[in-house]
Amino acid sequence: MWRLAAVSGIGAAACLRSSWERRHFVTEAYELSSPKLEEEKTFVFLSDLHDNCFGPGQKTLLGEIDKIKPDAVFIGGDMMVVKKQADLSAALFLVKKLAGSYPVYYGNGNHENRMDRKRHVYGDKYDLFVRELKEAGVCHLSDASVTLPGPIRLSGLNLEKRHYKKRAGGDLEVSYIEKRLGDPERQMFQILLAHSPLYGETYARWGADLTLSGHFHGGTIRIPGLGGLMTPQFHFFLESCGGCLRTGDKVMIVSRGLGTHSINIRLNNRPELTVIRLLPAAKRTEERGDKGHDGDFL
């Protein structure tokens, strides 16, 4: 009997902790440098909100972003949740509030691209959502690119449903990206918004200096020394659940995301507001007084 009571107590404590974590994000900052960059830039990256709310009217989240004062906000997709009666108002509210203060660039995730028999699951709501984003001044990067000061080239890639299947990982070719986005701008610092981090090596081969991904929600439950337990597609202890990963001189930053959906659990895995500081290589050397720090592009 006491064993059952102990297990029940541990389960109840874990549920309470998870509920608290889902409502309290942390800010994770990354600093990278490249000889391609001529200007220092700070960006905020948001992914996988899934209608989660941080304070009335997103006051806590917006307040933290205002403290950072980013040059722009990048969105990596899945700001809403696909449901039978899909409501896009929460995502639209936050993005429009951000667009009132900062340049906002919106890339799609699998929830934005969800199709059912060649028809969007949101129906006409999605077209209205995109139209309102554009009217608010948001740059919607649906298989599209834009040039930013820096010089930086920012591209948003749409992945197909097959790329989100449980066992996916080896079926994305560079030619797929080239067909949708063309060649990267190799003279500029190329940033790619690509929702699934399963294909980091392919993004690097295409030419992305920095890839920003999400999708895996940090692995749902994070275990010290082992990382994220499980992705929404039931990959276990996948390295790319979160953090900074390197392929040669290319880097992928994977946000642990801001929300949940089907698996409504976060444990030892608070939602993440991602901050990225980009520096010209000369300035990074001047600030650090040496060379070869983790995160540098060398």
The candidate with the shortest Cα–Cα distance to 205, out of 224, 226, 186, is 186
pLDDT digits (tens, 9 = 90+) for 203-212: 999 999 999 9
Average pLDDT score over residue span 244-252 = 94
The residue type at 225: G
Q: Which residue has the higher pLDDT, 31 or 265?
A: 31
pLDDT digits (tens, 9 = 90+) for 63-88: 999 999 999 999 999 998 876 556 78
> Counting every residue, how long is the chain?
298
pLDDT digits (tens, 9 = 90+) for 213-236: 999 988 778 888 878 777 777 778
Instruction: Tell me the pLDDT band of 166, cut-offs 50, 70 and 90.
Output: low
Q: Which residue has the higher pLDDT, 141 or 233?
A: 141
Q: Is residue 205 classed exposed, middle or buried when 0-12, 13-18 and 19+ CB atoms within 10 A define those classes?
A: middle
Q: Which residue has the higher pLDDT, 210 or 268?
A: 210
pTM of the model: 0.90
Q: Which residue has the higher pLDDT, 297 or 191?
A: 191
| In the predicted structure, residue 290 carries a pLDDT above the cut 80 | no
Cβ(203)–Cβ(36) under 8 Å?
Answer: no
